[in-house]
Chain A
Amino acid sequence: MPSWPALASQAFNGLALGSLLALVSSGLTIILGTLGVLNFAHGALFAVGAYAAFVMLQYTQSFLLAIAVGCGFMLVLGFLLERLIIRFFYGRPHEDQILVTYGIGIVLVECVRAVFGGNAQRVPTPSWGQGATQLGFLIYPTYRLQLIAIIATLLVGLYLVLYRTSMGLVVRAGIENPGMVGILGINLRRTFLLVFAIGVVAVGLAGMLYAPVVAVTPDMGANFMAQSFVVIVLGGLGSFPGAVVGGLIAGEIVSLTSAFNSSYSEVMLYALMALLLVLRPQGLFGSEGRV
């Protein structure tokens, strides 16, 4: 039985990982819910985000500025991908959508590899995030605490966009019944473009924010993508609240399991998904979206 401080520390790790997964997964799930496309390039876009932070930091020397410019870059990338490729696949079978986004993922990862090489890069922790913070009985790295706070803010922002703006209204209605949205005079294609770009920015941001915590490599996104699949199956496909809650659950499962036996931490996550598929296939938050 691990000590309480060790458990608490792992719980915080779980929160950090969980909030990160929540951000990655909400990008994945709103794209899936609105456009009906499962984006297999999501992992690659996570890596692209991390590299964007790496490059911008070298030019700007300011973490915040790097992230701002990086977001702009991800937005443009999202627009381009949707306009040039994705939009031609809305009417095609899911298998084709998966294959083409998987192909996009390969190309993105290989572009990164071609430019930066395959070796791990380090992104320094921002100056305001150095050191550790005393939290009662436990000392915890400051940047990770900030990471949790920043992502929580971003998720609240995403919530406000989805639940308090006209675009969010159209997105939520479009997930339910895209045909009726059209009958009410709204051209969904423009919304699709925006949603895809927002999803790309969300996952890119996750990559940028996580870059100081891990080694940055071209393939770093693959495992996050697999985990975010588990998260959206957990939460219910296309459900934003499901992605957030599912992300936190997934993060805690991985971290708390590793407090007991680290070799089972990832295995537990997939075992949980298998269990859920048998007992409650529609996920925690009900509907299966458009699938």
Chain B
Amino acid sequence: MSLLEVDRINTLYGDSHVLFDLSIRVEEGEVVALLGRNGAGKTTTLRSIMGVLAPRSGEIRLDGKPISGLAPSAIANMGVQLVPEERAIFGGLTVEENLRIAALTAPNAWSFERIYGVFPRLKERRKSLGRTLSGGEQQMLSIARALIRDARIILLDEPFEGLAPLIVRDLVNVAAGLAREGRTMIVVEQNVAAALSFATRVYGLNNGHVVFEGTSAELTANPDLARDFLGVGA
């Protein structure tokens, strides 16, 4: 039994059909990358798992138990944590308050010190309001909110988007470290090279369908495999 199974879900955004019978599965301790051009349905997949969008049909199971149809708060409390694309930092709350609210309902919450060990920069800025943070710091805080909850699966949606290369390198190092420690993650990223550097397995998505399934190594060795769902023109 996989840790997470997404079983032939169909999800609509408004009345626009985005995911068509989409199935993926994630084993405990692996990092899975969802790749595809925009509009392929990657973000919608993550939002479906988190319960933000309810699939019209199909089932999502965590440890074999169905979670589709539950509220996001219930799904979060089962150990799934979305780090959304827009980061969704509470701008009027300080860094520490952002962490505190994340930890509120987590039974095995990390200590602040442990989080600051991963992101020393956040310790320096712990009294600053969220809205005063730079893009990179916001992204760190957003990931830190998932970590402090000790989430079993972290869903990273475009974690490197719009960030300077140096900051991307730092964040990739953090993600790679988490992967080594065996933290389960699903990452959606436009920066394919960065995502593949710490992901073990890959699903390629196109128009709401899974069109490729393989390992990161396969894809890195043979980039032509990605033309179908990433490249331009046939």
Contact = CB atoms under 8 A, between A and B. Distances in A.
Q: Please tell me whether chains A and B touch each other in their complex, using a CB distance cut-off of 8 A.
A: yes
B149 A185 contact: yes
B72 interface: yes
B97 interface: yes
Given A169-B100, A180-B84, A186 B105 contact: yes
A72 interface: no
Contacts, number: 66
Contact of B106 (A176, A179, A182, A185): A185
B76 A166 contact: no
A185 B91 contact: no
Contacts of B71: 182, 187
Interface string A174-209: 011101111111111000000000000000000000
A180 B145 CA distance: 11
A193 B92 CA distance: 22
Contacts of A166: 100-101, 104
Chain A facing B: main interface SS: helix
Interface residues of B, number: 25
Contact of B93 (A169, A186, A187): A169
Contacts of A170: 101, 104
A150 interface: no
Interface of A: 166, 169-170, 172-173, 175-177, 179-188
Interface of B: 50, 52, 71-74, 76-77, 81-82, 84, 88, 90-93, 97, 100-102, 104-106, 145, 149
14 contacts: A166-B100, A166-B101, A172-B90, A175-B92, A177-B88, A177-B90, A179-B88, A180-B88, A183-B50, A183-B52, A183-B73, A183-B81, A184-B105, A187-B71
Closest 6 CB pairs of A and B: A185-B76, A185-B105, A180-B88, A182-B72, A185-B77, A173-B90
Given A182-B71, A188-B73, 17 more contacts: A170-B104, A172-B90, A172-B93, A173-B90, A176-B91, A176-B92, A179-B88, A180-B90, A183-B50, A183-B52, A183-B72, A183-B73, A183-B82, A184-B145, A185-B77, A185-B104, A185-B106
